[in-house]
Amino acid sequence: MRETWRWFGAHDKITLPEIAQTGAAGIVTALHDIPYGEVWPRDAIAAHRRQIEAAGFTWDVVESLPVHEVIKRGEGDLSGLFSAYRQSMANLAAEGIKTVCYNFMPLLDWTRTDLQAPVARGGTCLRFSAAKMAAFEIFMVGRADARQAYSPEAVEAADHWYQQSSDADREDLLAAIMSGLPGAFDRYDLAGLRAALEPYAGLTPTDLRANLKRFLQEIIPTAQELEMSFAIHPDDPPRDILGLPRIVSNQADLAWIMGAVDAPENGLTLCTGSLGANPANDIAQIAHQFGDRIHFAHLRNVRKEPDGSFEEAPHLDGDTDLVAVVDELLEAEARRDVSIPFRPDHGHDLLSDSDRATQPGYPLIGRMRGLAEMRGVIAALS
């Protein structure tokens, strides 16, 4: 397995020479400044690649080549957006960058309610509290159907949290939830979020599936011509949020997507943390079933709670057996004669991480711990 590290480019407080000290060999990155829907120019890709290579790395995976929200909603004439996407693919392939991670989550990307939840022996982690998310949806956004989306216990806890929360608590909650907005640097206030949700009213899982299938039909033939691998990222968390449907949450969803365009270029990012937050998902089994279509892996762990809350756990100490997952990935690699890039996805903020204000979930020391633990597992199993 090939060790990689996510680097956010010029916006990242962690430099390439620092990343080199983690031992990672490859970089996972994107051109974050280019607005969604616009072509990634070849010269900008080349400049980014040269910067990465000058620091002794290769650019192994694009994360993400974002899918425009209008494509996810399936609105109007999409031919311009599809051809722009294909042009970005061609420009990436011309620079030798051939593995692309993307997601199909409407509006929100990963969602957490706490960015700095304390962990037992010091440090902090990302956390999703079902009660706080319910409080956000029901009382802060005021979404009519939100009560039905949560268990009665979570709704009661939401009520309790909301009643005793201060203005600052509510602002922190909004800020945490907004951290996962695609575009990475856009944020909404509550009014902005309500307005942003409007165009999705009535979008059903069936609609979203049809729009994903259309996207795949538009781009996978080009990926085949360019010898590129596409790797859809699962929903995080794997459940509907804010009434927005999510269709990449479990084994059945993945089987449907792989079958929608049944080609090896239509593959998966095995994100053990995203899929691991759903108690119905057996991640090692998923790695086994889709081993031939996994082009990229995000390795991390979660600890789940009965009401649907979860917390990001140390890599070897959560509910998912990452040793079993890595074993499956090594088998898939041997069978396919490939090296699957993986990155330590997220990490706790440890030691001096809290002084650096890096992207939430992307600290230096916490991720280096995760990478080192995974490196040990891989070495032992190999």
Q: Tally the C-alpha atoms within 13 A of residue 316's C-alpha that lie toward its C-beta.
A: 12
- Site for ligand DNO, residues 216 to 255, rule: CB under 6 A: 233
Considering only CA atoms, which of 303, 313, 305 is closest in space to residue 345? 313
Of positions 101, 131, 223, 261, contacts ligand DNO by CB under 6 A? 101
Question: Which of 103/281 has CB closer to ligand DNO?
Answer: 103
Helices (H), 12-149: 16-22, 42-54, 69-73, 79-94, 130-135
Identify which range of 16-24, 98-106, 201-209, 313-321 contacts ligand DNO by CB under 6 A: 98-106
Binding of ligand DNO by 361 (CB under 6 A): yes
Write out the binding residues for ligand DNO, residues 146-205 only, by CB under 6 A: none
* Contacts (Cβ under 8 Å, ≥6 apart) of 198: none
Instruction: With contacts defined by CB under 6 A, name the span among 35-43, 99-107, 215-223, 327-335 that binds ligand DNO.
Output: 99-107
The residue type found at 59 is W
> What Rg value do the Cα atoms of the chain yield, rounded?
20
Residue type, 38: E
Q: Based on CB atoms, which residue is closest to ligand DNO, 123 or 361?
A: 361
> Which of residues 218 and 345 has its CB atom nearest to ligand DNO in the complex?
345
All residues at 6 or more sequence positions from 243 whose CB lies less than 8 Å from its CB, including other chains: 137, 143, 145, 146, 149, 197, 200
* Residue 154 or 311 having the CB closest to ligand DNO: 311
Residue 298 CB, nearest approach to ligand DNO (Å): 6
Nearer to ligand DNO, 197 or 275 (CB): 275
Nearer to ligand DNO among residue 129 and residue 269 (C-beta): 269
What is the Cα–Cα distance from 176 to 180, expressed in whole angstroms? Answer: 8
CA triplet 212, 213, 219: central angle to 5 degrees?
90
Q: Return the number of the residue (104 or 150) whose C-beta is nearest ligand DNO.
A: 104
State the minimum distance, in angstroms, from the CB of residue 322 to ligand DNO: 16
What is d(CA 16, CA 222) in angstroms, rounded to the nearest whole number?
32
Question: At closest approach, how far in Å is the CB of 345 from ligand DNO?
Answer: 6
Contact criterion met (CB below 8 Å) for 281 and 238: yes
307, 153 Cβ separation under 8 angstroms: yes
Candidates 5, 7, 102, 310: give the one binding ligand DNO (CB under 6 A): 102
Single out the segment in contact with ligand DNO by CB under 6 A; choices: 102-110, 189-197, 220-228, 308-316.
102-110
Name the one range near ligand DNO by CB under 6 A: 96-104, 132-140, 162-170, 279-287: 96-104
Residue position matching structure tokens 């998912």: 320
Residues 104-133 that bind ligand DNO (CB under 6 A): 109-110
Residues 285-324 that bind ligand DNO (CB under 6 A): 298
Cβ neighbours for 96, distance < 8 A, ≥ 6 positions apart: 49
C-beta of residue 379 within 8 angstroms of C-beta of residue 360 = no
Given 3, 253, 265, 345, the residue binding ligand DNO (CB under 6 A): 345
Instruction: Select the span of 7-15, 97-105, 260-268, 369-377 touching ligand DNO (CB under 6 A).
Output: 97-105
Q: Quote the CA–CA distance of 132 and 272 in Å, as a whole number.
A: 23
- Between 62 and 158, name the residue whose CB sits nearer to ligand DNO: 62
Q: How many residues bind ligand DNO (CB under 6 A)?
A: 11
* Shortest Å, Cβ 66 to ligand DNO: 7
Position 307, amino acid: D
Q: Which amino acid is located at 31 in the chain?
A: L
Residue type, 371: L
Q: Which residues make beta-bridge pairs with 304?
A: 310
Q: What are phi and psi of 161, to 5 degrees?
A: -60, -45
Residues marked active site are found at 233, 271, 298, 345-346, 362
CB of 5: closest distance to ligand DNO in angstroms?
13
Calculate helix-pair angle for 205-226, 79-94, nearest 10 degrees.
Answer: 40
Which residues of the chain form contacts with ligand DNO (CB under 6 A)?
63-64, 101-103, 109-110, 233, 298, 345, 361
